[in-house]
Amino acid sequence: MKVSIIASITVDGFIAQNVEQSSLRWTSKEDTKFFVEFTKKVGVLIMGSKTFETINRPLPDRKIIVLTRSKKYDQFSLDQVVAEGREIREVLEELKTSGQKEVAITGGTSIYTQFMKAKLVDELYLTVEPIVFGSGLKLFNESLDQKLELIEIIDLSRQTKVLHYKIIQ
Ligand SMILES: NC(=O)c1ccc[n+]([C@@H]2O[C@H](COP(=O)([O-])OP(=O)(O)OC[C@H]3O[C@@H](n4cnc5c(N)ncnc54)[C@H](OP(=O)(O)O)[C@@H]3O)[C@@H](O)[C@H]2O)c1
């Protein structure tokens, strides 16, 4: 099963100015379209509860697995949003066993960092937006030493590019 991180970053490597900030507040419409198309193709998204709080609704034609040790999402149907408190490896194993071919890791910082540290990621899609924050939440917030290979640069517009990397295992 292919595991891909998808994230939008500022030129200085931030994914948000603060934990409440939705990415829709600062990313381009081209990037939103890319995110929607990519995640619909993949079908299953894994995100942390704080990121889900910035969305707070199901996303059409996708299943969201929300990592949380404390919250429940009983108001949503199980094929739309599920709360998951198990180890991230177990969550991936179950998806693989169920026949899932791809999964998108959609943030935030704590989730991106845990998946990278555990070496569970195959590919990285980073949309670089022409903006700097100077401070805020980084893409990763723990020490890592991971080499990548740039596979392609996807031109979303003159201003916005997606850097598509493969993780060198
Ligand atoms: N620019 C982008 O592409 C992008 C993408 C995604 C998110 N973001 C931004 O990132 C920010 C949120 O990031 P964040 O790091 O603060 O929070 P987060 O990673 O979205 O969520 C953290 C929460 O996830 C749960 N969690 C984390 N690890 C877990 C594990 N192993 N097992 C079970 N539950 C686990 C905990 O939830 P409980 O406290 O409920 O137990 C934890 O408080 C927001 O501002 C959001 O907009 C940006």
CATH number at residue 154: 3.40.430.10
Number of domains in the chain: 1
**What is the position in ligand 1's atom list of the atom closest to the CA of 111?**
19
Among protein residues, the one with the nearest Cα to ligand 1's atom 14 is 108
Give the pLDDT confidence score for residue 148 in this predicted structure. 98
% of the chain at pLDDT higher than 90: 99
Interval 42-61: pLDDT, tens: 999 999 999 999 999 999 99
pLDDT band of residue 169 (cuts 50, 70, 90) is confident
Indicate which atom in ligand 1 lies nearest the CA of residue 112. 19
How far, in Å, CA of 150 to CA of 159, rounded? 19
Distance between CA atoms of residues 118 and 169, nearest Å: 11
Q: Which atom of ligand 1 is nearest to the CA of 88?
A: 31
Q: State how far the alpha carbon of 104 is from the alpha carbons of 11, 55, 132, 134, 139, in Å.
A: 22, 16, 25, 27, 15
Q: What is the mean pLDDT of residues 135-157?
A: 98
| Cβ–Cβ < 8 Å for 66, 49 | yes
Lining ligand 1 with CB less than 6 A are 7-8, 15-16, 19, 21-23, 47-51, 54, 67-71, 85, 88, 106-111, 114, 137
User: Residue 56: CB partners within 8 Å, gap ≥ 6?
Assistant: none
- Is the pLDDT at 75 greater than 90, yes or no? yes
For the segment 72-97, the average pLDDT, to the nearest whole number, is 96
Note down the domain range covering 39.
2-167
Alpha carbon of 108 to ligand 1 centroid (Å): 4
Q: How remote is the CA of residue 57 from the centroid of ligand 1, in Å?
A: 15
Helix (H) or strand (E) holding 55: helix 49-55
pTM above 0.85, yes or no: yes
CA triple 149-124-65, angle to 5 deg: 155
Contact present, 128 and 30 (Cβ < 8 Å): no
* Separation of CA 158 and ligand 1 centre (Å): 30
Question: Which distant-in-sequence residues (6+ apart) come within 8 Å of 54 by Cβ?
Answer: 20, 21, 22, 23
